[in-house]
């Protein structure tokens, strides 16, 4: 339970109460805050939600054959070298043979029960695996005509022929991973190549809201306004949706890169910058703010209990599965079978979600006011990486909470008070 101290435009203050165990946001008298101004009503369906798995390294949870989201990792090869990439440490990694595509498709019925709702295609850079990607996707579309297809690419290998093919698939979403003004931290900017730029313009024009950019923020490049305008200017339209995973922890390969705040003052300044720009109407309406706020509102509207809240990545969900074409099951698409294999589809009942600890078993998560936004950060990370990832996600998650509170009340978040705020001995936190 947390007390949120809010300040109105006239300088007066009032208090709200946030209970992350029940996803309830109330005034001091216990009355629910009106969420209808954002087009949402309370329905309290949370009581009917099933429990989320609470996996630990000692008690790993199984996976379900009733797969709803199937993530296929084609391999970790990539033509970029992003400063923050968690896949970098796994390269060079496995590389499936073209013949694995036919075997993979032919063997699906042996381990999956019915068609998934979504199939996601991942690398590395998936378009580097074009010789496998094309027959794989066409085979999956033939087998499962209604499945939703999702592809994430850095965009550098897109051309008009590939765009024509993607559009022809029907019910496909494409995310172009690009950091806008911070793209130089990754390598070449594909939007600087005319042929690639024209292909990406065509992709966004033809797919509409089923195409978006996804950006990672950094300390020198954290302005959402600058990020949006980078894409607006390059594509020649403001009808562009952008999402963001916020900050990433410092890279191990070049610790000299100052990508994230290094002290509390830098975190505070960054939160204030983000909160101010998130309130800008066209930024607020874009996916970079609108999507995380919908997620928050969903939890408040349904009063989602803690027992039913899974990890933010959803890979603790038994019905979400990440696989390679050879049938290895991995924790998530960002990992290699060499280090994070949790089983095989050929021995499905033996699959166990190892290498992971759910937020349910992390005391700092159970006492965090940003949990509803963060979802527990990466369940695989431990040690220093975990601390840095937690700090980044906490700070970014608070900005989404503050933005939602401002939209509902017109007041700004000043301070959070509670018996424990993440760490023992911390009972207050200034936004």
CA 231, CA 275: separation in Å to the nearest integer? Answer: 21
Q: How far is CA 374 from CA 113, 139, 308, 312, 369, in A?
A: 31, 36, 15, 6, 9
pLDDT of residue 322: 98
pLDDT of residue 252: 47
CA 213 to chain CA centroid, Å, is 13
Residue 254 has pLDDT above 60, yes or no: no
pLDDT of residue 257: 58
Choose among 173, 105, 171: nearest CA to 135.
105
Residue 384 has pLDDT above 60, yes or no: yes
- Edge to edge, the sheet with strand 13-19 lists 24-27, 13-19, 2-7, 412-418, 428-430
Residue 165 has φ and ψ, to the nearest 5°, of: -65, -45
**pLDDT tens-place string over residues 318-347:** 999 999 999 999 999 999 898 999 999 999
pLDDT of residue 187: 83
256 vs 309, which has greater pLDDT? 309
Choose among 123, 116, 131, 122: nearest CA to 150.
122
Would you state the torsion angle of the CA atoms of residues 399, 404, 406, 409, taken in this order, to the nearest 10 degrees? -150
- Parallel, antiparallel, or unpaired for β 242-247 and 211-217? parallel
Residue 218 has pLDDT above 50, yes or no: yes
**pLDDT tens-place string over residues 410-424:** 999 999 999 999 999
Choose among 128, 138, 200: nearest CA to 163.
200
pLDDT of residue 95: 57
The set of residues, in sequence order, having a beta carbon less than 8 Å from that of 289 and lying 6+ positions away, is: 224, 278, 283, 400, 403
pLDDT of residue 259: 80
Average pLDDT, the chain: 93
Give percent of the chain above pLDDT 90: 84
Per-residue pLDDT, averaged over 292-312, amounts to 95
Q: How many CB atoms lie within 10 A of CB 23?
A: 22
pLDDT of residue 298: 94
pLDDT of residue 97: 63
Helix (H, G, I), strand (E, B) or coil at 166: helix
pLDDT of residue 401: 98
Is 213 in contact with 228 (CB distance < 8 Å)? Answer: no
Residue 8 has pLDDT above 80, yes or no: yes
CA 173, CA 211: separation in Å to the nearest integer? Answer: 6
pLDDT of residue 94: 47
Query: What's the CA angle centered on 248, arms 4 and 216, to 5 degrees?
Result: 95
211 vs 100, which has greater pLDDT? 211
The set of residues, in sequence order, having a beta carbon less than 8 Å from that of 330 and lying 6+ positions away, is: 73, 322, 323, 324, 336, 337, 340, 341, 342
Query: DSSP secondary structure string, 52-99?
Result: PP---SSS-----SS-SEEEEE-BS--S---TT-TTGGG-S--B--TH
CA 295, CA 120: separation in Å to the nearest integer? Answer: 21
CA 258, CA 260: separation in Å to the nearest integer? Answer: 6
Cβ-defined contacts of 130-135 (< 8 Å, 24+): 130/157, 130/162, 131/98, 132/74, 132/96, 132/98, 132/100, 132/101, 132/325, 133/74, 134/165, 135/98, 135/101, 135/102
Instruction: Considering only the C-alpha atoms of the chain, give the largest distance between any 2 of them, rounded to a whole number of Å.
Output: 68
Residue ranges of domains in the chain, CATH in brackets = 2-53+362-430 (no CATH), 69-350 (3.20.20.70)
**pLDDT tens-place string over residues 64-114:** 999 999 999 999 999 887 767 766 555 554 455 666 899 999 999 999 999
Strand partners, 247: 217
Per-residue pLDDT, averaged over 223-243, amounts to 98
Per-residue pLDDT, averaged over 150-173, amounts to 98
pLDDT of residue 4: 99
- Parallel, antiparallel, or unpaired for β 320-324 and 328-330? antiparallel
CA 158, CA 87: separation in Å to the nearest integer? Answer: 22
**pLDDT tens-place string over residues 34-56:** 999 999 999 877 778 899 988 89
The set of residues, in sequence order, having a beta carbon less than 8 Å from that of 149 and lying 6+ positions away, is: 118, 119, 120, 121, 137, 140, 141, 169, 171, 172, 173
pLDDT band at 248; cut points 50, 70, 90: confident
pLDDT of residue 87: 61
- Sign of torsion over alpha carbons 83, 215, 205, 144: positive
CA 55, CA 352: separation in Å to the nearest integer? Answer: 9
């Amino acid at each position: 339970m947390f007390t949120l101290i809010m300040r109105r435009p006239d300088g007066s203050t009032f208090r709200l109460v946030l209970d992350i165990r029940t996803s309830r946001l109330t005034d001091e008298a216990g009355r629910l805050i009106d969420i209808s101004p954002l087009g949402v009503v309370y329905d309290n369906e949370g009581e009917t939600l099933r429990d989320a798995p609470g996996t630990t390294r000692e008690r790993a949870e199984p996976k379900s054959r009733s797969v709803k989201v199937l993530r296929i990792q084609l391999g970790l090869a990539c033509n970029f070298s992003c400063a923050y990439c968690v896949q970098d440490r796994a390269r060079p990694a496995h590389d499936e043979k073209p013949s694995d595509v036919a075997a993979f498709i032919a063997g699906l019925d042996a381990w999956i029960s019915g068609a998934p709702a979504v199939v996601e295609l991942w690398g590395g850079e998936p378009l580097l695996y074009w010789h496998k990607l094309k027959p794989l996707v066409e085979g999956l579309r033939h087998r499962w005509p209604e499945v939703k297809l999702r592809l994430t690419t850095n965009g550098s290998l897109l051309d008009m022929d590939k765009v024509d093919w993607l559009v022809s698939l029907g019910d496909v979403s494409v995310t172009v991973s690009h950091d806008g003004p911070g793209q130089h931290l990754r390598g070449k900017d594909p939007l600087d190549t005319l042929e690639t730029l024209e292909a990406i313009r065509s992709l966004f024009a033809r797919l509409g809201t089923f195409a978006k950019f996804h950006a990672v923020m950094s300390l020198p490049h954290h302005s959402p306004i600058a990020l949006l305008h980078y894409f607006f200017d390059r594509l020649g339209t403001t009808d562009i949706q952008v999402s963001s995973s916020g900050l990433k922890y410092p890279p191990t390969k070049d610790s000299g890169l100052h990508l994230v705040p290094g002290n509390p003052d830098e975190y505070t300044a960054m939160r204030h910058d983000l909160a101010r720009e998130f309130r800008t109407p066209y930024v607020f309406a874009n996916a970079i703010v609108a999507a995380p706020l919908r997620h928050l509102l969903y939890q408040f509207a349904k009063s989602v209990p803690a027992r039913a809240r899974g990890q933010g990545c959803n890979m603790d969900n038994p019905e979400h599965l990440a696989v390679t074409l050879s049938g290895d099951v991995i924790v998530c698409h960002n990992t290699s079978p060499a280090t994070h294999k949790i089983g095989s589809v050929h021995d499905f009942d033996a699959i166990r979600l190892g290498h992971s600890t759910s937020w349910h078993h992390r005391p700092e998560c159970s006492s965090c006011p940003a949990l509803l936004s963060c979802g527990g950060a990466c369940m695989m990370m431990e040690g220093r990486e975990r601390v840095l990832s937690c700090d980044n996600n906490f700070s970014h998650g608070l900005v989404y909470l503050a933005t939602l509170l401002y939209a509902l009340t017109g007041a700004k978040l000043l301070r959070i008070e509670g018996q424990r705020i993440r760490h023992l001995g911390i009972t207050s936190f200034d936004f």
